Structure formats: structure tokens, C-alpha cells
Amino acid sequence: MQHSLSNMNPLFIGALLAVCLSNSVLGKASPWDQQHLALLSKVTELERIVKELQQHQSLEIRTDKDELSRQARQAELSNVRYDGGESGFYVTLDKPQEVETKMPLKFDDVVTNIGGAYDTQTGIYTAPVTGTYMFALNAVCAARNFLHLAIYKNNAPAFKVICDDLKGEIQHQGGGTTILRLQRGDRIYVTMMFPLGTVGEVRGNGMTSFSGYLLKEL
């Protein structure tokens, strides 16, 4: 039967070392003790090497993810057209759509997309320039849904909205407007914050909408 080094009980190793060392101090060390002292020394060294390799591999994975993220952002920017004029969008939901925690909501009806910075495939608006922007969100949740939605800036919520129709008695809506200072390449999108790990539903027919506009380039 094979055993992984990481699965060996540290208490067992420590106790075995104590016995072997005690026998050595008392002059009772047998060949068996000496062999196991040497073996345990090798085990300890191998565990140290394995730990270093795991840390190195983890660092490489994080570095690769960061590089892929940078390349993806550069690709998004290359698709954004900006000639120093306007940049803005207004999108709505034509059909009811499910929204999942931390996943961008993709609006299927693009009314306005000046400059093309809103990506209909991903549901993400990429800031074409550093500047001050205005964004608005209005959401109508389906019956018996409780949704904590937000406009996200990159990986953090920048503006939060609650839509509560748990009782199913009315079509509840939530929304508002915010002004954000963005750097070129910042990503703006709508997603659900809460409940975690669940899927909710928002109404279509133009009742759920998302818009943004560049107020001033900096």
C-alpha cells in the first residue's frame, strides 16, 4: 500500500523521532533506530521540497491568470472605438432573463451603443478613456424573486439595488443613477450580489434597463 508524504501523521513522526533519539542518548540505539532516523530525516527533507514545489506552482498559476486577464482586457480595448467624441449606451431586456450571482447580465435589446464600448456578447461596458461617467440601472424582478443587484466596477459593486417581490403580489422594481470615475479599461456590468449561489429572474419587455454615458474625459 502506497502512502502520500502529506498524509503522514506529524505526531507519529515526532513520537518515532523521540524514541529513536532517546535510545541514541541512552546508548541503546539499534540498527533499526539508526535506519529509521535516516529515513525520517529523508522524509522531512522530501516534505520540505514538496512544499516548495507546491508554492512555486501556485505562484506560476497566479502569474498565468494575471497575464491572461491583462491580455483579455487589451483585447476588449482593441474592439472599442473612440475618436474623442461621445461614448454611451442604453440597453434593455426584451425577454425575461435569469441572472446568476457574480455573472454579468446580458441585455438582448441594444437601443444605443455609441462607440461600441458595450459588448453584447459579454454584457460588459469597457471604459474607452479615463473620465467621469454616469450609469443608471432599473430592474423589475419576476414574481416571488428577491434580488440584490449591483452595477459592478471590475470585481467590486459600485452601486446597489434591491428588487423584492417574494410575496408575488406586485411587480416590484428597483433602480437609480450613479456617477463613477473610471480609468481606461475599467469594466462595468450588472450582476446579482445576493442570494449567493442562486439564480433569479428579471422581467423583459423593456422594463429592465441599463445605461451609461461619458460625461467628461480626463
91 & 68 share domain: no
110 & 145 share domain: yes
- Local confidence band at 146 (pLDDT 50, 70, 90 cut-offs): confident
110 & 202 share domain: yes
97 & 178 share domain: yes
Give CA–CA dist 209/137, Å, rounded: 6
- 202 DSSP assignment: E
**Integer angstrom CA distances of residue 128 from 12, 73, 88, 111, 125:** 60, 11, 10, 19, 9
Q: Which three cell numbers stand for residue 107?
A: 441585455
Domain closes at, from 13, 42, 77: 77
Whichever domain contains 148, its CATH number is: 2.60.120.40
Structural domain count of the chain: 2
Which residues fall within 8 angstroms of residue 111, CB to CB, at 6 or more apart? 90, 91, 92
Residue 92, pLDDT > 90, answer: yes
- Local confidence band at 8 (pLDDT 50, 70, 90 cut-offs): low
123 & 206 share domain: yes
Domain closes at, from 77, 95, 121: 77
> Using CB atoms within 10 A of its CB, is residue 26 exposed (0-12), middle (13-18) or buried (19+)?
exposed
Q: At residue 193, what is the residue type? A: M
User: What's the domain range around 196?
Assistant: 85-217
For the stretch 162-185, pLDDT in tens is 887 667 666 678 899 999 999 999
162 & 119 share domain: yes
For the stretch 71-90, pLDDT in tens is 555 555 656 667 677 899 99
> What phi and psi values does residue 73 have, to the nearest 5 degrees?
-65, -40
Residue 1, pLDDT > 50, answer: no
- 142 DSSP assignment: P
For the stretch 37-46, pLDDT in tens is 777 777 777 8
For the stretch 109-132, pLDDT in tens is 999 999 999 999 999 999 999 999
Question: What value does the mean pLDDT of the chain take?
Answer: 79
pLDDT for 5: 46
Residue 218, pLDDT > 80, answer: yes
